[in-house]
Structure 1
Amino acid sequence: MGSFLANEGLSIVVILVWLGINVFLFVHFYMAFLIDRWFYTRAILGHALSWARAPAACLNFNCMLILLPVCRNLLSFLRGSIQCCSRTAARQLDRNLTFHKLVAYMIAFHTAVHIIAHLFNFERFMDAQLEANMSSLPHVLSLIGNKHNESFLNPIRNNQTSPTIVMFTTVAGLTGVVITLALILMITSSMEVIRRSYFEVFWFTHHLFIIFFIGLVLHGIKRIVRGQTLDSLKKHNPITCHSEFERWGLDQDCPEPKFMGNPPGTWKWVVGPMFLYLCERLVRFYRSQQKVVITKVVMHPSKTLELQMKKKGFRMEVGQYVFLQCPSISQLEWHPFTLTSAPEEDHFSVHIRLQGDWTEALYIACGGDRTRLQEAWELPRIAVDGPFGTASEDVFRYEVVMLVGAGIGVTPFASILKSVWYKHVQENTNVFTKKIYFYWLCRETQAFEWFADLLQSLERQMIAKDMRDFLTYNIYLTRWRDTEAAHFRVHHEAENDPITGLKQKTLYGKPNWDTEFSAIATNHPGCKVGVFLCGPTLLAKDLEKQCLKQSQAGAEFIFNKENF
C-alpha cells in the first residue's frame, strides 16, 4: 500500500481534483440556467439550453489547462523549484503529457455534448419561428424584437433559413465548425501510430491549436444565447406572466419582456495560459538564435548519428533532453532528443536513430552519405532549445537504482553511466547511490555497437577500482537470426561476449521481471529503489505492476518513466 501511494497517490489526488472541478462546473452551470432569467429561453429550448451551457463552462476550464503541460520551460522551472521540497510532487510534472492527453479527451467529450445540445437548440429555434400555431408561447417569443432596435430572444429572425445556413453564415456557427474540425484533426493526428510514423503530420496539424483558440474566443461574440434582462425581471415576472402572453404590453403588471445575450467570457479563462505560452515561444525563439557549434559528428554503423556540440552558457543534468531544429531542413520543426553526455564533460551530445524524413535529412546534411570527411563549414546550422528536466534527474537521490532501457531508449542512461564513470573513476566523488542495476533490451545486434564502448570502459574502470559490485548490468537480445545464433554458440565460451565485447555475457530473450524484482527486494530490504524506464508503453505497464507487487517483499520500488 505504501508503494502504491508513493507511485500513484499524488497522481490520483490530482486527477480526482480535476474531475471534481469538472463535475462541479457542469452541475453549477446546469443549475444556473434553470433560474427565472432563463424561463422564456427554456420555453423554446427546454433543458437543451442547460445541456449546451454546462459543457461550455467545462470547456473553458479545460482549455485553460491544455496549454500549461506543454510549457516545457515553465515545467522545468517548477520542477527545479519544488524538487528540493518534494520529490513526489516533482515527479508529477514528468507526467505532463499524460495529463495533456487527458485534458484533450475531456475537451473532446464536452465538445461533443455541446454540439449535440446546440443542434437541438437550433432545431427548436427554427420550429418556434415556423410554428403554425400563431398563439403558442414559443412563436410569440420568436416574434419579439421584429421592430428596429428592439431586443429579441430567438436569434433566427426569419423563416427562410436552415441549419446549414445558420452553421456557415453566423459567427457562432462558423467558428463552431472551425473549432470542431481543428480539434478532430489534432486528436486524430496525435494517435501513436501517426505520431511515430509521420511525426511531421502530427507536428504541423497540432499547430491548429492557434486557430482553435482564436475560434474559441470569437465563438460567443454575437451573444446568441439570450435571457431576460434584470430590469425586465423586476417589472415582468415570467412565472406569473407567461400564461398571459396575449396581454403583454397591455397590462402594466406584465409588460413585454426584454432580452439580452450573455457577454463572451471564454477569453477570461484562456488569456492567462495564452500569455504564458506566448512567453514560452519567445524564450524558444531566443534560444534558437543562440550559436551552437558542432564539434564532432560520428556515424555509427547501427543507423545512429551522434552529434557533439557546444553552446555558451549551456548547463545540464543527467538524463535531461533538448529540442533540435535544423533550419536547412525545416524552419518550423523541433524534435526532442535525450542528452547522452555527462554534466562533467565539456560538450553535450545526442544520439539520433535514423527513422523518418527529418532524421534522414539531418544524416545527409551532416555528410552521412559521403565517403570523404566533411569540413566544419559544410555542417548544417543547428538550433538547440533546452535542456529540460526529466525523471532521470533524480537517479542519484536513490540508494539503489534500476535502469531499464529499450533500444535507443538507453540514451538517458548513457548520460547517467558516464556521470557515474566521472564521479567514481576520475573525481572520486561520494554519491548517495550505492548500487545500480542496468537492463538493456535490444531487438538486433547492431543496436549494441555505439553503446558497447562506454560499457567496456566502465567495466574496466570498475574492476580496476575494485567496484565490481557497484554496477550490475544485464543486456538482452530479444531477436536474432539463425546464422547469428550459430556464431553465438561457437563464441559463447570466449572470455568476452561476442556481441558487446563485455565480460558479462549477453542474455537471449526477455527478462523475467518477477525474478529480477524479487532478487533486488531480497538483496536490499527496507530500501527505496528508484526504477527508471525509457521505453515502450507495454514495458512501462509491466514494470509499474512489478513495482506495486514486489514492494510487499521488503524494498519499496518507485517507478519513473521518461515522457517527451
Structure 2
Amino acid sequence: MQFWWQQGLTFRQWFVNDGPMYTFVLLWMCANVGLFFYTFSFYTQDKYNYLRRIVHFGLPVARGAASVLNLNCALVLLPVCRNLVNFCRGIFESKRSIRRLFDKNILFHKWCAYVICVFASIHICAHFFNVNNLVEDGTYGRILRDGTPMSQEEVLFTTVAGGTGVGITVPLILMVTTASQQIRRSYFELFWYTHHLFVVFYVCLCLHGYSGFVERQDNPDTYPISLDRGVCTSRDDVLVSNGCASWNAVVSALANQNSSLTEPNLCIPGGVDVGDEEDAFCCPCRLVTQAVLQRGQAATWVWVIGPLILYILERLYRWYKSQTRRLRILKVVKHKDSVPVMEIQFQKVPTKAGQYVFINCPKINSLEWHPITLTSCPELDYVSVHIRLVGDWTTKLADACGFYEDNPKVGSELPYICIDGPFGTASEDMYHYPVAMLIGAGIGVTPFASLLKELYFRKSNPSAYPSFKTQKVYFYWMCPGFDAWGWFASLLIDLEDKLEQLGVPDFLEIRVFTTRGWSQDDAAKIMLQEDESGDSIVRDAETGRALRHKMNFGRPNWDSEFTSVANTHAGNNIGLFFCGPKVLSSQLHVTCNKFTSERAAEGTKFYYNKENF
C-alpha cells in the first residue's frame, strides 16, 4: 500500500478513490487502540491489585486484548449479512463515495478476522503467563477445585475458561487457514464447511467468561493490597509489629486529640496521625481482616448479541427465499472451451446486471452453496450462469444435467436448483459514469457478461433508461492463450453485430490481449491478422465468426491506454471496473490515482472499482 505522497498525489486527489475507505479504516483502528488502552487502564485500578500482585501486567494485557476481540467478533458478522449490505447500498445509491464502501464488505470481513487472530494470540499468551503465576503462587494464587490446588494442564483444559478457550481457538485456526484463496478456489467445499464452525466459535465465546475467572476486590479502601508491599498488616487489640499500632493504641491516640472516635469497629479517618511508622503498611480498620472478592461476569454476549441476532435473521431470510425459489433448470448449453463450460438457464427472478447468486442443487447436496456470477441481463426471459467444470461440485452438477452425455437432459429430466440472492456488486454502478473502462483477466470477464448484454438494450431504447449516462465503454480482456476465447467470444461478436445494426459501432471498443506465448501454428494466424483485410484471431468456435477488433499480443501498456482515454474524454468522470488477480488490481488502482492527479487541471477523474464476493 502506498500513501498519497508516495504516489505524488495531493490529499484531495488521493481522496477521490481511497479517502472514504481509509477514513473508515482509521476510525476503526482508533476504536481498537482506544478500547485496548481504556481496558488496560481500567484493570490497573486498586480493586484488581489482589490479582495483579500475582500476575502483574498479564491481567490488563489479557483484558485489553479481550475487549478488542469482543468488538471485532461483533463487527466481523456484519459484512457477511449480504441482504443488509444490499439494503445499505440501496440507501446510498445517490452517494457513490459512501456506496462504494459497501463494495468492500468482504475485505473488511477479512480485516476483522486478521485483528481477531492477532489479539487472540495476545490474549492466549497473556493468560498462559497468568495461569503459570497463579498456579505457582503459594498463598494468594491458588486456583481451587473443591479445595484442591490445580495444575496448569487442569486449568487450561478442565475449567470453563480453559475448555471454552480451546473451543474458540481451534475453530478460529481452521476457519482462517481454509479461507485462503488457494483453498477456496480448489477446495471450496472445505472452506464452506469449516467456516460453519463459527457456531462452535460463538457458543464458546459467549461462555468463556461464565466462570468468573477474573476476580475484583470490593473493599480496596478498607483492606488495601499493595503491588509492592503485599497485604496490609491487620490491627488487633494487642501491640502489633511491622510498625503498625494496635487498635487500642489508635483509639487512645485519637482520644488524646479530642477525637470522637470511640467505637472500636470504625476505620481510621484519613490524615490522622496514629503513631504508625512512616514505611508501615497498616490496615485502616480493625475487623476487616481479609479481601472481599467478587467474581467477574461474562460480558462478551453483550457485544455480540446484536450482530448475532442480525446474522441469524439474515440466514433465516436467505433460507426462506431459497426454499421458495426452487427453480427448474430450463436448458443446458455446452460450450466448446479449453476447459468445459456449462451454461444453465433457469426460471426468471428479479435481478440486475452485474449481480451474483449462491446456487444449491439439493440432488447433489442440500447443504452446499456456491457463489456464481449471473451472465444474463434483466431484459431476458430467463436467468443464466456459466459454470467452468473444474471442481467436484461443478462436475456433479454437470453429470446431473447430462452434460457429458451426447444429448443433454431436457424438461423434467433436469434437476431443481435453489438460489440465494441475488446480491449486488460494484459493477452495478457502471451506468452512472459517462465513460466506463471494464477490465477482466481470464475468468474475471464473467461478471461483465450481463453488463455487456444489457448495454445493447439500454442503447437501443434509451427512453426506458433515463438514468443511463454512459456514452462510451472500453472493454479490456486479458486471455492466457489462443484457446481461451470460448463462449465469451460469441457474446462479444453478437454485441458487435447488434451495435453495428443500431448505427453506434464506436460505442463499445474491445481490446483483447493474449498474455502467453504462441506456437508456429499460432504465428501463422498472427501473420494473417496483421493483413488489413485479415480477420481477428478471436473467433466463435461454433460458428466460425470473427471479432472485428484485432487481437493484441502481450500485456497492455496501461499508461498508454489511460493516456488515450484521458485525452479523448477530458473533464469526465471515468469509472474503471476490474475483476482479476490482486497484483493487477494494485497496479490499476495506483494508475487511476496517478492519472487523476496528472489530469486534475482538466477535471478528469478515474474512479477505481473492484469486484469482491
Distance 1:75 1:249, change over 3 A: farther
Aligned to 1:260: 294
SS of the counterpart of 1:83?
Answer: coil
Aligned to 1:238: 225
For the 8 Å contact 1:126–1:159, the answer to whether it is kept is no
From 164, 182, 189, the counterpart of 1:175: 164
SS of the counterpart of 2:440?
Answer: strand
Give CA-to-partner distance per residue, 1:15-42, whole Å, 9 cap, x none.
1101100111100010001111111111
From 63, 69, 72, the counterpart of 1:59: 69
Distance 1:118 1:157, change over 3 A: farther
- Measured in 2, the distance between the counterparts of 1:248 and 1:111 equals 45
From 337, 349, 368, the counterpart of 1:333: 368
Tell me the TM-score normalised to structure 2 length.
0.84
For the 8 Å contact 2:32–2:68, the answer to whether it is kept is yes
SS of the counterpart of 2:416?
Answer: coil
Aligned to 1:459: 496
For the 8 Å contact 2:223–2:232, the answer to whether it is kept is no
SS of the counterpart of 2:556?
Answer: coil
From 435, 441, 448, the counterpart of 1:406: 441
Aligned to 1:436: 473
Q: Structure 1 residue 107 and structure 2 residue 116: aligned?
A: yes
- Which aligned pairs between 1:174-213 and structure 2 lie closer than 5 A? 174-213=163-202
Aligned to 2:574: 529
Aligned to 2:132: 123
For 1:237, the aligned partner's letter is P
Aligned to 1:90: 99
SS of the counterpart of 2:509?
Answer: strand
Q: Structure 1 residue 556 and structure 2 residue 605: aligned?
A: yes
Distance 1:81 1:97, change over 3 A: same
- Which aligned pairs between 1:338-417 and structure 2 lie closer than 5 A? 338-417=373-452
- Measured in 2, the distance between the counterparts of 1:169 and 1:353 equals 49
Aligned to 1:136: none
- Measured in 2, the distance between the counterparts of 1:504 and 1:484 equals 21
- Measured in 1, the distance between the counterparts of 2:440 and 2:132 equals 56
SS of the counterpart of 1:382?
Answer: strand
- Structure 1 segments (4+ residues) deviating >4 Å: 154-160, 239-246, 248-252, 426-430
SS of the counterpart of 2:380?
Answer: coil
- Measured in 2, the distance between the counterparts of 1:523 and 1:235 equals 81
For 1:222, the aligned partner's letter is S
- Measured in 1, the distance between the counterparts of 2:381 and 2:442 equals 26
Bigger shift: 242-251 or 385-394? 242-251
Distance 1:510 1:248, change over 3 A: farther
- Measured in 1, the distance between the counterparts of 2:231 and 2:513 equals 83
CA positional deviation for 1:157:
7.0
- Measured in 2, the distance between the counterparts of 1:239 and 1:406 equals 65
CA positional deviation for 1:483:
4.0
From 31, 35, 38, the counterpart of 2:41: 31
- Measured in 1, the distance between the counterparts of 2:509 and 2:481 equals 22
Aligned to 1:421: 456
CA positional deviation for 1:372:
2.1
Distance 1:10 1:249, change over 3 A: farther
For the 8 Å contact 1:69–1:99, the answer to whether it is kept is yes
Distance 1:197 1:11, change over 3 A: same
- Measured in 2, the distance between the counterparts of 1:288 and 1:516 equals 43
- Measured in 1, the distance between the counterparts of 2:56 and 2:489 equals 70
For 1:256, the aligned partner's letter is Q
CA positional deviation for 1:109:
0.7
CA positional deviation for 1:6:
1.5
For the 8 Å contact 1:38–1:228, the answer to whether it is kept is yes
Give CA-to-partner distance per residue, 1:513-561, whole Å, 9 cap, x none.
1110111111111111000011111111111011011113322110000
- Measured in 2, the distance between the counterparts of 1:99 and 1:77 equals 17
From 448, 455, 477, the counterpart of 2:514: 477
For the 8 Å contact 2:511–2:552, the answer to whether it is kept is yes
CA positional deviation for 1:355:
1.6
Q: Structure 1 residue 41 and structure 2 residue 51: aligned?
A: yes
Give CA-to-partner distance per residue, 1:435-462, whole Å, 9 cap, x none.
1000011113333121222222221222
Tell me the TM-score normalised to structure 1 length.
0.91
CA positional deviation for 1:463:
2.3
CA positional deviation for 1:498:
3.2
Aligned to 2:87: 77
Aligned to 2:343: 306
Aligned to 2:538: 499
Aligned to 2:253: none
Distance 1:425 1:263, change over 3 A: same
Q: Structure 1 residue 17 and structure 2 residue 6: aligned?
A: no
Aligned to 1:147: none
Aligned to 1:146: none
Bigger shift: 95-104 or 243-252? 243-252
For the 8 Å contact 2:401–2:408, the answer to whether it is kept is no
For 1:278, the aligned partner's letter is I
CA positional deviation for 1:243:
5.4
SS of the counterpart of 1:34?
Answer: coil
For 2:607, the aligned partner's letter is I
Bigger shift: 547-556 or 259-268? 547-556
- Measured in 1, the distance between the counterparts of 2:355 and 2:364 equals 24
- Measured in 2, the distance between the counterparts of 1:276 and 1:55 equals 25
For the 8 Å contact 1:522–1:553, the answer to whether it is kept is no
CA positional deviation for 1:244:
5.7
- Measured in 2, the distance between the counterparts of 1:58 and 1:240 equals 26
Aligned to 1:518: 563
Give CA-to-partner distance per residue, 1:124-156, whole Å, 9 cap, x none.
11111xx3xxxxxxx1x347xxxxxxxxxx557
Distance 1:243 1:43, change over 3 A: closer
Aligned residues: 539
Q: Structure 1 residue 321 and structure 2 residue 330: aligned?
A: no
Give CA-to-partner distance per residue, 1:469-520, whole Å, 9 cap, x none.
2111101122254144234135323543133211111112111111101111
For the 8 Å contact 1:249–1:256, the answer to whether it is kept is no
Give CA-to-partner distance per residue, 1:53-112, whole Å, 9 cap, x none.
11001110010101111111110011111112x111111111111111111010011111
Bigger shift: 452-461 or 20-29? 452-461
Distance 1:249 1:323, change over 3 A: farther
What is the RMSD of the two structures over their aligned residues, measured on CA atoms? Answer: 2.0
- Measured in 2, the distance between the counterparts of 1:481 and 1:379 equals 40
For the 8 Å contact 1:45–1:121, the answer to whether it is kept is yes
Aligned to 2:3: none
Distance 1:197 1:20, change over 3 A: same
Aligned to 1:149: none
- Measured in 2, the distance between the counterparts of 1:225 and 1:157 equals 18
Aligned-residue identity in percent: 41
Distance 1:307 1:159, change over 3 A: same
SS of the counterpart of 1:496?
Answer: coil
For 1:404, the aligned partner's letter is I
SS of the counterpart of 1:560?
Answer: strand
For the 8 Å contact 1:3–1:557, the answer to whether it is kept is no
Distance 1:364 1:444, change over 3 A: farther
